[in-house]
Chain A
Amino acid sequence: EPEVTQTPSHQVTQMGQEVILRCVPISNHLYFYWYRQILGQKVEFLVSFYNNEISEKSEIFDDQFSVERPDGSNFTLKIRSTKLEDSAMYFCASSTGGPDEQYFGPGTRLTVT
């Protein structure tokens, strides 16, 4: 069964550094998402992406964040200048025909020191 994959599984970075989190969505899916989950808290929506553009974003997704689909398989989340409060698990998800039935990747644990 195809699954969403994410790399790296764990990223440690210093405050102020840029990080890029990578995701490979399920191959026939057209909608892509990023979520974050601070330890012990609920999953929070960051952004959705369809047809090479952002379709929805939350108030968390400010100018420090950007997403890109650099090729036919990868979907990336960039945080330009990381802050301590960016430490969280970041999940990528994908779906076929809209926001329903989203399948999540295993997550990248980002630790900002």
Chain B
Amino acid sequence: GENVEQHPSTLSVQEGDSAVIKCTYSDSASNYFPWYKQELGKRPQLIIDIRSNVGEKKDQRIAVTLNKTAKHFSLHITETQPEDSAVYFCAAIKYKLSFGAGTTVTVRA
């Protein structure tokens, strides 16, 4: 089955700086890569996604990049704010959603 690796496990950034989270996947047939944000005790929320026919996608301060050849994709958050503090999960889909282990992002004021 699909195996998604995510790094780093924790990330602390100063408010206003950028945060980057990287993921790799194993199944080259995976074709959809969402990112979820989970605040403490709450549901995972879909924040951005990218499909395998696209290399980059941006939505305001959030961007995702995908390198199909290398089988890795990344989440970039610019101008981080305290409300960006959460656990972020990457995921890959072939027939089912396989999640990475999560990155706990802490934005220091």
**Most chain B beta carbons < 10 A, residue from A4, A44, A100:** A100
- Distance in angstroms from B52 CB to nearest chain A CB is 11
Bound complex: CA of A95 vs CA of B89, how far in Å? Answer: 18
Which residue on chain B has the smallest CB distance to residue A106?
Answer: B43
Interface residue count for A (Cβ, 8 Å)?
22
**Most chain A beta carbons < 10 A, residue from B36, B44, B49, B51:** B44
- Distance in angstroms from B72 CB to nearest chain A CB is 18
Pairwise interchain contact B46-A42, C-beta atoms closer than 8 A: no
Pairwise interchain contact A43-B99, C-beta atoms closer than 8 A: yes
Interface residue from A44, A55, A91 paired with B44 (Cβ < 8 Å) = A91
Pairwise interchain contact A100-B99, C-beta atoms closer than 8 A: no
Does A25 belong to the interface (CB within 8 Å)? no
Pairwise interchain contact A104-B44, C-beta atoms closer than 8 A: yes
Does A75 belong to the interface (CB within 8 Å)? no
Pairwise interchain contact B97-A45, C-beta atoms closer than 8 A: yes
Partner-A contacts on B (CB < 8 A): 32, 34, 36, 42-46, 49, 51, 89, 93, 95-102
Additional A-B contacts beyond A45-B96, A100-B34 (14; CB < 8 A): A33-B97, A44-B99, A45-B99, A48-B96, A91-B44, A99-B95, A100-B49, A100-B51, A100-B93, A101-B34, A101-B49, A104-B36, A104-B44, A106-B42
Can you list 5 A-B pairs, Cβ within 8 angstroms, ordered by A? A42-B99, A45-B98, A100-B93, A102-B97, A104-B46
Q: Top 7 closest A-B pairs, CB basis?
A: A104-B43, A43-B99, A42-B99, A42-B101, A56-B96, A100-B32, A106-B43
